[in-house]
Structure formats: structure tokens, C-alpha cells
Amino acid sequence: MNLEYTEDQVLFRDGAERFLSAEYGAGARARSTGAEDGVDPANRSAFAELGLFALTVPERLGGLGFGPLELAMVLECCGRHRVVEPIAETAIAARALATAFDAPAAQRWLPPILSGEIHATVALLSNADIAEAGDADIVSGAVPLTRGAPGAGLVVLLADTGEGERRAFAVTPGTEGVSVSAKRLLDESRGAMLTLERARIPSENGSLAADSVDQLLDELTLASCWKALGAMRAASGQTARYVQEREQFGRPLARFQAVEHMIAAQSVACEEAEAAALLAALSMDLGPSSRIRAVSAAKNKIGRASDVVAKNAVQAHGGMGVCDELPIAGYFRDLAAFRAMDGSARHLDRYERDVLGSGCFRESAILGTDAP
């Protein structure tokens, strides 16, 4: 057991933080929110240059060879700076290519992602209908709301046939039979529902063990949890400062006990969210049951904790909290999107089934059953 970040981890995280502080202001962000599909190509190139999309790709495929924790740490910075581009989605899509596809396919698709030429995303296609047809597969099914899908140069579909086996498909824009219904999300990023009707996908696709599909999806959830944590810390810090400056009834708001307790609730929520995020990140390599338990716990817990932070942040800012002028409203929307997306209810269901139902909630979450 060791709870200290390595020097490399801190260096990389601090590099990302410095870049975002210096370069990712309101103007840079607006270039992406104003773009048709929510991603400004110059921003994307800058993120690629920083190495964000290569973070968790193995070195032999041109990546940096880090793991889910390092990606998560960068996402916390992204949450603080309200990064609107699909960083985690692209990084996990790259990782999926590296783990699920044969080397020629991975080597074909990875370079444009790692160079920032395209962005990518990863999505679950459940109850997929797959038929082989010569050098292609004919795939039908529906993909739920997926961030980063509009304009993506590549969507990695993790298809669940409902019979245990999982397949991965690389879908490119314009593939016949794929319709994309793009939406603007509360955090101003773009997402889309995908419908596949007898889509013809060249059979260069990968085949995966069911658990590696779940692992990839859990890595995405983990990244979104850390991004939410960054937004929570920022909103909470800004609120604590604001109530010390703002005076009403002749004294700072911070002097009112009701306000004090709102600030305290935010602090507690942030500490718990950080612990949940850390437990999930450090459980990724402890085996499937620890990972499932910790990721579902994190998604649920950070969902509840972010609600406490977001609502108190807006309330403590009074009228200014409900104006678009301050970042507080933005953080509120970011966290609302986080809670709505990525199966909050599904994670509580999964925890209830796999952790409560199996009885392993009676054991320590850290010293638990399948820790080596």
C-alpha cells in the first residue's frame, strides 16, 4: 500500500494544469462551444501535443504508457477549467483501439487520434444484432447518448450481443446505415445517440472478453468522476471566497451560521468525492469485483456529493449564482450533466446486485476479496 503520487504523475498533472491555466481561457473554450460539432481543431491539436490522447496508450503503439489514474488526474484539471472537448472519450477510444484491435488496425487508426487530427469516442452498443457478410459485419442496434460522437473521426463501439461475447467495431463517419442524432449537452459539449440499421462495417474489428469491455467503460466512468471532482473543488473554493467578500446586513455572509454550514457541507462533499475517486482509481488493477464495486460506488457517491456542492454554490452566490456571468452556473450545469449521464442509476443497480447481493459489502472495500 502506498498513497503517494509519483514524481512523474505530479509532473504530468502539473503540466496539464499549467497549460490549461495559461491557454484555455473563455476565448479558447468558446471556439469549441461555437463549433458545429463542439470541437475546435486548434484546441484538439493543442491537447494532442500535450499528450492527453496518448496517455493510456502503450508505448509500443506511440503512447505514453500511463494508466487510468494518470488520465484521471488530468481530467480533474479539465473539470476545474471546464474543458468542453471530449478528452477522456478520445483517450479511452485510443486505449480501446490498442487493447481490442489487431496491430494493423490499431496502427492505422491511432496516428490521426494521437496527432489531434480527429477526435474519437467510445460507446456501448447493447443487444446488438451482428451478422457476418464476407469481408464485413452487418450490425444493428442503438447507442445511448454518447459525448464526443458528433464530428468524431472514429467511434469505437463496444457491442454486447447479449450472449456474453463482446465485439469492438470501429465506425467512421458516413458509414451507411449509421444515423447520428447530435445534441448540445448541459455542459455545452456535444453528444449524440447513434442508430445502426444494418450498418456495414468492414471486418477489421476486434473481439474482446466481456470483462475488458466493462473495464473500458469503467475507465470512462472513472475519468468522468475525476472531472466532476475538479468542478466540485473549483465551485466549492469559489463559493468559500465569495461568502467572505460579500456583505449583507452589515457583515460578510461567512459570518452567518446557515452559510457556514453550507460551506462545511461543500468541504465534506469534496473530501468524500476525492476519496471515492481515489478508491476507484486504485481499484482498477485489483481485479473485476473490486473494480466494479469501487467504480459504481464512486459514480453514485460523487453524484450525490456533486449535488450538495453545486446547489450550495448557486444558493450562496444568490442572484449571481443563477446568472451565466459567473463560472458557478457553468459548474452547476457541468455537474448536472455528469449526474444525468453515464448511467447513475445503472451503477447503483450494479452495486446493489454485485456488492450487496453477493454479500461482499461485509468485507473491507480495500482489503476486500480479490485483492492480490
Partner 1 sequence: MNLRLDESQRAFRAEVRDFIAENLPEESRRGQSLLTGVYPEPAISVPWHRKLAGKGWLAPMWPKEFGGTGWTGFERFIFENECALAGAPYVFPLGLRLVGPVIFTFGTQAQKDRFLPRILTDEDYWCQGFSEPGAGSDLASLTTRAVPDGDDYVVNGSKIWQTHAHHANMMFTLVRTGSGDGPKQAGISFLLIPLDTPGVEVRPIVSIGGDHDVNQVFLSDVRVPKSNLVGEVGKGWDYAKFLLRFERAGGFAAARLRASLKRIGRVLESRMAAGIEIHPDARRRIAEVAIDVDVFEMLELKILGPLAAGEDPGPISSILKLRTSQLKQDVAEAGHLALGEDGAIWPTEVESESDALPGDYLNSRAATIFGGAREVQLGLIAREAFRR
Is residue 204 within 8 Å of residue 170, measured between CB atoms? yes
Q: E strand or H helix at 271, and its extent? A: helix 257-283
Is residue 218 within 8 Å of residue 295, measured between CB atoms? yes
Q: If binding is defined by CB under 8 A, does position 244 make contact with partner 1? A: yes
Q: Cβ of residue 80: shortest distance to partner 1, in angstroms?
A: 15
Give the CA dihedral 143, 144, 145, 147, nearest 10 degrees: -50
Q: Cβ of residue 14: shortest distance to partner 1, in angstroms?
A: 16
One DSSP character per residue, 212-247 reads: HHHHHHHHHHHHHHHHHHHHHHHHHHHHHHHHHH-E
Q: If binding is defined by CB under 8 A, does position 257 make contact with partner 1? A: yes
Residue whose entry in the numeric block shows the C-alpha cell 460579500: 246
Q: If binding is defined by CB under 8 A, does position 359 make contact with partner 1? A: yes
Q: Name the β-bridge partners of 184.
A: 190
Within 10 Å of residue 361's Cβ, how many Cβ atoms? 15
Query: Taking CB under 8 A as the rule, which mask of x and - marks residues 202-241 in contact with partner 1?
Result: ----------------------------------xx--x-
Closer by beta carbon to partner 1, 32 or else 283: 283
Q: b/e string for 299-324 if b means 16 or more Cβ within 10 A?
A: bbbbbebbbbbbbbbbebbeeebeee
Q: Cβ of residue 198: shortest distance to partner 1, in angstroms?
A: 39
Q: If binding is defined by CB under 8 A, does position 366 make contact with partner 1? A: yes
Q: If binding is defined by CB under 8 A, does position 254 make contact with partner 1? A: yes
Interface residue with partner 1 among 293, 308, 330, 333 (CB under 8 A) is 293
From 81-89, 202-210, 256-264, 328-336, span contacting partner 1 (CB under 8 A): 256-264
Query: Taking CB under 8 A as the rule, which mask of x and - marks residues 296-325 in contact with partner 1?
Result: xxx-xx------------------------
Interface residue with partner 1 among 59, 271, 322, 370 (CB under 8 A) is 271
Q: How far apart are CA 217 and CA 95, in angstroms?
A: 11
Q: If binding is defined by CB under 8 A, does position 289 make contact with partner 1? A: no
Q: Cβ of residue 33: shortest distance to partner 1, in angstroms?
A: 31
Q: How far apart are CA 354 and CA 33, in angstroms?
A: 39
Site for partner 1 in 65-104 (CB under 8 A): 69
Spacing of C-alpha 66 from chain mean position: 16
Q: If binding is defined by CB under 8 A, does position 365 make contact with partner 1? A: yes
For residue 160 the three cell numbers come to 454486447
For residue 71 the three cell numbers come to 488520465
Closer by beta carbon to partner 1, 5 or else 19: 5
Q: If binding is defined by CB under 8 A, does position 371 make contact with partner 1? A: yes
The residue ranges that bind partner 1 (CB under 8 A) are 1-6, 9, 69, 236-237, 240, 244, 254, 257, 260-261, 263-268, 271-272, 274-276, 278-279, 282-283, 285-286, 293-294, 296-298, 300-301, 348, 351-352, 355-356, 359, 361-367, 371-372
